[in-house]
Amino acid sequence: MQIESESRIATVERKTKETNVFVSLDLDGNGEYDVDTGIGFLDHMLEQLSRHSLMDLKVRAQGDLHIDFHHTTEDTGIVIGEAVRRALGDFKGIRRYATAVIPMDETCTRVSIDVSQRPYLVWKVNFTKPKLGDMDTELFKEWFQAFAQNAGITLHIENMYGDNNHHIVESCFKGLARALRDALEIDPRAANRIPSTKGVLGN
């Protein structure tokens, strides 16, 4: 894996026998996106992530889609998560915690995060169908798990209610986006501080 980072901008590339994933992002962007994973529904979700977090995001992924979408979905989460972690540098000045509650028609989802370098996923989301288009709905948990693990984020996602599977998934990504936007923002009252009484995150 090759990594470059500067300020709150990062570029990460990961190549395996299963996938080749390139990500560049700017945490202080305008929500501009350029996404191509070869999986249309995943592209749509990553575009939502970018637009609602105001993070500029470019993703290029080539994977073994002739087998299934698992490797490409998971590895995209890995690389975007790694890029977020690298772009944060020493994590100084961030607000760290955030919660977003996202309504989408009949659906409502709550997403809470702690940007702590202690990765953990709590996933309370159920689907009534095995697929959305060509994509297995079980893969969405894999994406969020990979993202949380590599970003170093404690991530709790709970779909409180909803019937439409598309709305449920989209509210999860939009919730993550809005929570990231708030948690990664520099707090002007503590811009030079690590947001922990220990003086370091992750220990």
pLDDT band at 6; cut points 50, 70, 90: very low
pLDDT reading at 2 higher than 80: no
**Residue-wise pLDDT tens digits, 35-72:** 999 999 999 999 999 999 999 999 999 999 999 999 99
Q: Residue 122, SS3? A: strand
170: left (phi over 0), alpha (psi -120 to 50) or beta: alpha
Give the mean pLDDT of the chain: 93
| Token digits of residue 87 | 């772009």
Q: Identify the CATH number of the domain defined by range 2-183.
A: 3.30.230.40
pLDDT class of 193 with cuts at 50, 70, 90: confident
Q: How confident is the model at residue 200 (pLDDT cuts 50, 70, 90)?
A: low
Q: How far is CA 162 from CA 18, 49, 105, 122, 172, in A?
A: 35, 20, 8, 18, 12
Total residues found in the chain within this entry: 203
> So where are the chain's domains?
2-183
Which band of pLDDT confidence, cut at 50, 70 and 90, is reported for residue 90?
confident
pLDDT band at 191 (very low <50, low <70, confident <90, very high): confident
Q: What is the pLDDT of residue 196?
A: 59
Tokens in use for 192? 């030079």
Among 28-37, 50-59, 165-174, 185-194, which is the least confidently predicted range? 185-194
Q: Percent of the chain beyond pLDDT 90?
A: 84
